[in-house]
C-alpha cells in the first residue's frame, strides 16, 4: 500500500469513528469549527429530510476497507518512525475526498431555516433578500391595545421595530466552510439530523412604546366625580356620580413589549392595564337619603342686621353637609373661624358672663337650632354645652353654645346610612332638618320636655353718680334670671310612654342691672345758663307755632297741596331691633 492510500485510510477511519461512536448526532456548532453561535438567536427543530441510509452505507464501506489494511499500515509506520514526502504521482483523487469537500462559495447549506422559511441552496445575498421580505411584512403588522371597550392601533414600524439575524445567518454559512475537514464533515452530517433554525433578535424603541401608552391611553385618565345632592323648593336634586380611569403605564408598556418580543408575527392584541376608579360618593349611596329624621326652627326676625348676617353665613356653611355612617361633625369647625375675612360681622354675644360685640355674634342660635333637629333625629350627641346665661329663642336646657377654642357642639351619625343636613335662613326664621333613611317604627314618637327647677331674678342695684345731674339716671347691664333646669327625652310607641330620660341638667348664671342716679347740684352760673337755654327754646317753639298757623291757613285755601305734602313727609315704619334683648342675643 502506497503512502497516499495510508493517509486516505487513516482520515476515513477518524471520520467514521466520530460518526459511528458518538452518543448523539454531532451538532452543527462544534468546538472544532473555531466559531461560537449566538445562542440567543439559534434554536433547533427536528429534521424531516436527513439521509441516514446514504451516510450509513458510506461509513460501512469505509470501515471495511480500513479494517483490512489497518494493522499492516500501522506496523509499517511504526517501523519507519516518520512520514516521508509524498509522491506527486500518487496524490488522492477527487473521489477520495468527496465526503469532506465543502464548496467555498457563500451558499447557505441545506437544513438552514429562518423561522419556517428554508434558505438551503440560496446564496447569502438571496437569503438576506428573502428575510427582508418577511421583515417588511412584519413591520406593517399592527399592535392593538384594548381597554374598557376602547382600542388604539399602531404599526410595528412606528415603534422602531427591527430584526437582527445576519450574525446567525453568516454563522450557518461559515460553519460549513471553515475549520478542519473533520469539523466541516461533522457540520454537514449534523444538518442531516437537525435543521439549523435562525430566530431573529427583535428590537424596538421602548421609549416609543411608552409615548404611545402615555399619549394615546393614559392621556384619557380622569378622576372620579362624586355624586351630588341638594334641596330646592323642598325637593332633592341629585347629580349622578362618574367613574374615573387610571392607566398603569409601566404594566401596559411591559405587556406590549412582551408580545413584540415573540418575534415575527401577524397583528397582535394586548389588553392595557387600566383601572376603573370609583368615586367616594356614588349615586347609589346618596339614593339612600330619602326621609326627614328630625327638624327644628327658631325665630330671629328682631335681630340686628349684623346678627342676621352671621346667622346666614354659618347656616350656609352647614347646609348640604353629608355624614357617612360613623362620621362626626364639629359645628365650630364646620362654620369656620369667626372673622371678618370669613364674612362675619360684629354683633353681641356672651363673653365670660357678659355681653360684648364680637365677630360672629349670633352663631350660637345656629348651633342651638341644629342641636334640636339632631336630637329629634336621635343621632349620637358627643359634645354639648349650655350658655352661661339663658337665651330667649329656645326653652331652658335645649340650647347648645359654641365658643371658638372653648365650647363646641359635636355629633355622630350613628345610623347605617348617610345623613344630609339642610339649613335655611330667610331673614326671619332659621330652619334645620336632618335627612336619611328612616328605620324607626312609624308609631314611635319622641318628645323633649324642659323643666325649670328654680328661677330667681336678681334685683337691680342702685348707685349714686356724682357726675350725673340730680334727678337724672342711667342704666348699665341687663337683667337675666338665675335658672336651674333640665331637658327630658320621652319616647312614645303607639301613644304609650316607653321611656323617659333626663339628657341635660344646667345652671344658668343670673345678672342684674345697675341703675345710676345723679347727685350733682347745679351752680348759679349753670342755673343762669339753663334759664337762657329754656328761653331760647320757648322762642323757637313760638316761631314754629307761627309758621304752622300760616301753613294751616294756606292749606285751607288749597286742599290739594295738603294731600301732596302728606305723601312727601310720611316716615318709614320703625325697623329698630328693640323687640329683642340684644345682650342675650347669642
Q: Identify the bridge partners of residue 305 per DSSP, sorted by sequence position.
A: none
- Among 224-233, 315-324, 546-555, top mean pLDDT goes to 315-324
Q: Helix, strand or coil for residue 543?
A: helix
C-alpha cell at position 556 = 285751607
Domain-located, residue 158: no
Sheet holding 514-520, edge to edge: 461-469, 514-520, 473-476
Helix H or strand E segment including 11: helix 3-21
Q: Which residue has the higher pLDDT, 11 or 238?
A: 238
Task: Answer yes or no: is pLDDT of 72 > 60.
Answer: no
Q: Helix, strand or coil for residue 473?
A: strand
Share of the chain above pLDDT 70, in %: 66
- Predicted pLDDT of residue 293: 97
Over range 214-243, report the average pLDDT: 92
Please say which residue of 498, 518, 538 terminates a domain.
518
Task: Answer yes or no: is pLDDT of 399 > 60.
Answer: yes
Q: Are residues 178 and 246 in the same domain?
A: no
Q: What is the pLDDT of residues 524-546, one digit of tens each?
A: 665 566 566 666 666 666 666 66
Helix (DSSP H) and strand (DSSP E) numbers for the chain:
13, 28
Instruction: Indicate the pLDDT class of residue 471, thresholds 50, 70 and 90.
Output: confident
Domain-located, residue 545: no
- Predicted pLDDT of residue 69: 38
Q: Which residue has the higher pLDDT, 81 or 412?
A: 412
Q: Are residues 214 and 266 in the same domain?
A: yes
Give helix 52-80 / helix 3-21 axis angle, nearest 10°: 130
Domain-located, residue 574: no
Model pTM score: 0.59
Q: Are residues 340 and 253 in the same domain?
A: no
Task: Answer yes or no: is pLDDT of 91 > 80.
Answer: no
Q: Which residue has the higher pLDDT, 73 or 482?
A: 482
518 and 472 Cβ atoms separated by less than 8 Å: yes
Helix H or strand E segment including 455: strand 444-456
Domain-located, residue 370: yes
Domain of residue 82 covers 3-122+170-198
- Predicted pLDDT of residue 178: 53
141 and 156 Cβ atoms separated by less than 8 Å: yes
C-alpha count within 13 angstroms, C-beta hemisphere, residue 542: 6
- Predicted pLDDT of residue 313: 97
Cα 260 from Cα 142, distance rounded (Å): 10
SS (H, E, C) 392-422: CCCCCCCCCCCECCCECCEEECCCCCCEEEE
C-alpha cell at position 503 = 339628657
Range of weakest confidence among 180-184, 251-255, 442-446: 180-184
- Among 78-92, 234-248, 556-570, top mean pLDDT goes to 234-248
Instruction: Indicate the pLDDT class of residue 191, thresholds 50, 70 and 90.
Output: low
Over range 504-533, report the average pLDDT: 79
Q: Are residues 72 and 37 in the same domain?
A: yes
Query: Within a 10 A sphere around the Cβ of 114, how many other Cβ atoms?
Result: 23
- Cα 210 to chain centroid, rounded: 23
Over range 356-366, report the average pLDDT: 93
Q: Are residues 315 and 190 in the same domain?
A: no
- Predicted pLDDT of residue 137: 78
**Residue 111 to residues 20, 72, 193, 195, 538: CA-CA distances in angstroms?**
21, 41, 9, 5, 139
Q: Are residues 250 and 300 in the same domain?
A: no
- Predicted pLDDT of residue 527: 57
Over range 429-456, report the average pLDDT: 97
288 and 436 Cβ atoms separated by less than 8 Å: yes
Cα 177 from Cα 104, distance rounded (Å): 6
Instruction: Indicate the pLDDT class of residue 138, thresholds 50, 70 and 90.
Output: confident
CB-based contacts of 149: which residues, under 8 Å, 6+ apart?
none
Q: Are residues 443 and 470 in the same domain?
A: yes
Cα 54 from Cα 188, distance rounded (Å): 13
C-alpha cell at position 153 = 392601533
Q: Are residues 385 and 412 in the same domain?
A: yes
DSSP labels, 16-46: HHHHHH-SSPPPSS-GGGT----GGGEEEEE
Q: Which residue has the higher pLDDT, 41 or 502?
A: 502
Cα 385 from Cα 406, distance rounded (Å): 10
- Give me the residue label for grid cell 312727601: 568
Instruction: Indicate the pLDDT class of residue 198, thresholds 50, 70 and 90.
Output: confident
Domain-located, residue 157: no
417 and 437 Cβ atoms separated by less than 8 Å: yes
Cα 383 from Cα 410, distance rounded (Å): 5
- Predicted pLDDT of residue 231: 87
Domain-located, residue 102: yes
Domain-located, residue 131: no
Over range 315-332, report the average pLDDT: 97
195 and 113 Cβ atoms separated by less than 8 Å: yes
Q: What is the pLDDT of residues 203-226, one digit of tens each?
A: 888 999 999 999 999 999 999 999
Q: Are residues 16 and 64 in the same domain?
A: yes
Q: Are residues 182 and 311 in the same domain?
A: no
Please say which residue of 284, 319, 339 terminates a domain.
284
Please say which residue of 455, 485, 518 terminates a domain.
518
C-alpha cell at position 28 = 452543527
- Predicted pLDDT of residue 304: 95
Domain-located, residue 510: yes
Q: Are residues 446 and 308 in the same domain?
A: yes
**Residue 288 to residues 100, 285, 443: CA-CA distances in angstroms?**
90, 6, 22
Task: Answer yes or no: is pLDDT of 51 > 60.
Answer: no
Range of weakest confidence among 34-38, 136-140, 260-264: 34-38
- Predicted pLDDT of residue 274: 94
Cα 135 from Cα 163, distance rounded (Å): 7
- Predicted pLDDT of residue 278: 93
Q: Is the Cα dihedral 336, 339, 342, 345 positive or negative?
A: positive
Q: Are residues 214 and 305 in the same domain?
A: no
Beta-sheet pairing, 244-247 with 268-271 = unpaired
Instruction: Report how many domains make up the chain.
Output: 3
Cα 285 from Cα 303, distance rounded (Å): 39
- Mean pLDDT (the chain) is 76
Amino acid at each position: 500500500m502506497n503512502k497516499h492510500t495510508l493517509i486516505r485510510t487513516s482520515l476515513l477511519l477518524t471520520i467514521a469513528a466520530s460518526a459511528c461512536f458518538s452518543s448523539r448526532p454531532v451538532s452543527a456548532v462544534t468546538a472544532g469549527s473555531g466559531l461560537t453561535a449566538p445562542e440567543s438567536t439559534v434554536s433547533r427543530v427536528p429534521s424531516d429530510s436527513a439521509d441516514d441510509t446514504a451516510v450509513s452505507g458510506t461509513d460501512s464501506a469505509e470501515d471495511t476497507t480500513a479494517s483490512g489494511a489497518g494493522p499492516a499500515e500501522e506496523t509499517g509506520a511504526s517501523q519507519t518512525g516518520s512520514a516521508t514526502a509524498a509522491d506527486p504521482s500518487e496524490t488522492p483523487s477527487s473521489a477520495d475526498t468527496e465526503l469532506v469537500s465543502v464548496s467555498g462559495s457563500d451558499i447557505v447549506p441545506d437544513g438552514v431555516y429562518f423561522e419556517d422559511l428554508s434558505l438551503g441552496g440560496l446564496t447569502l445575498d438571496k437569503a438576506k433578500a428573502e428575510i427582508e421580505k418577511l421583515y417588511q411584512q412584519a413591520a406593517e403588522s399592527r399592535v392593538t391595545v384594548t381597554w374598557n371597550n376602547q382600542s388604539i392601533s399602531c404599526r410595528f414600524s412606528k415603534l422602531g421595530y427591527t430584526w437582527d439575524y445576519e450574525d446567525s445567518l453568516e454563522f450557518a454559512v461559515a460553519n460549513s466552510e471553515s475549520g478542519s475537514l473533520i469539523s466541516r464533515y461533522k457540520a454537514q452530517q449534523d444538518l442531516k439530523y437537525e435543521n439549523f433554525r435562525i430566530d431573529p433578535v427583535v428590537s424596538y424603541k421602548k421609549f416609543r412604546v411608552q409615548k404611545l401608552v402615555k399619549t394615546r391611553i393614559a392621556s384619557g385618565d380622569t378622576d372620579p366625580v362624586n355624586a351630588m345632592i341638594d334641596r330646592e323648593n323642598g325637593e332633592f336634586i341629585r347629580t349622578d356620580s362618574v367613574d374615573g380611569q387610571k392607566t398603569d403605564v409601566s404594566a401596559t408598556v411591559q405587556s406590549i413589549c412582551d408580545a413584540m418580543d415573540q418575534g415575527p408575527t401577524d397583528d397582535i392584541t394586548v389588553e392595557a392595564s387600566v383601572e376603573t376608579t370609583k368615586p367616594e360618593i356614588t349615586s347609589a349611596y346618596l339614593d339612600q337619603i330619602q326621609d326627614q329624621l328630625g327638624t327644628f326652627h327658631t325665630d330671629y326676625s328682631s335681630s340686628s342686621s349684623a346678627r342676621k348676617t352671621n346667622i346666614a353665613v354659618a347656616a350656609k356653611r352647614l347646609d348640604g353637609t353629608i355624614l357617612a355612617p360613623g362620621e362626626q361633625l364639629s359645628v365650630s369647625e364646620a362654620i369656620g373661624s369667626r372673622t371678618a375675612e370669613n364674612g362675619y360681622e360684629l354683633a353681641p354675644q356672651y363673653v365670660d358672663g357678659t355681653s360684648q360685640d364680637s365677630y360672629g355674634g349670633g352663631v350660637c342660635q345656629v348651633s342651638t337650632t341644629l342641636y334640636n333637629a339632631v336630637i329629634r333625629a336621635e343621632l349620637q350627641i358627643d359634645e354639648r354645652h349650655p350658655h352661661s346665661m339663658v337665651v330667649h329663642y329656645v326653652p331652658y336646657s335645649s340650647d347648645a353654645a359654641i365658643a371658638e377654642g372653648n365650647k363646641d357642639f359635636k355629633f355622630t351619625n350613628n345610623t347605617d346610612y348617610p345623613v344630609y343636613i339642610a339649613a335655611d335662613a330667610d331673614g326671619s326664621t332659621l330652619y334645620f332638618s336632618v335627612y336619611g333613611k328612616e328605620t324607626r317604627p312609624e308609631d314611635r314618637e319622641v318628645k323633649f320636655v324642659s323643666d325649670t327647677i328654680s328661677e330667681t331674678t336678681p334685683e337691680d342695684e342702685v348707685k349714686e353718680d356724682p357726675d350725673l345731674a340730680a334727678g337724672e339716671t342711667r342704666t348699665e347691664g341687663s337683667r337675666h334670671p338665675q335658672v336651674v333646669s333640665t331637658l327630658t327625652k320621652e319616647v312614645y310607641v303607639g301613644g304609650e310612654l316607653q321611656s323617659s330620660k333626663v339628657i341635660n341638667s344646667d345652671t344658668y348664671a343670673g345678672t342684674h342691672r345697675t341703675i345710676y342716679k345723679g347727685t350733682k347740684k347745679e351752680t348759679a352760673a349753670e342755673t343762669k345758663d339753663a334759664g337762657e337755654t329754656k328761653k331760647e327754646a320757648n322762642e323757637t317753639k313760638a316761631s314754629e307755632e307761627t309758621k304752622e298757623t300760616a301753613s294751616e291757613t294756606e292749606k285751607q285755601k288749597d286742599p290739594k297741596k295738603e294731600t301732596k305734602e302728606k305723601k312727601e313727609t310720611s316716615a318709614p315704619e320703625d325697623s329698630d331691633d328693640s323687640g329683642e334683648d340684644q345682650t342675650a342675643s347669642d
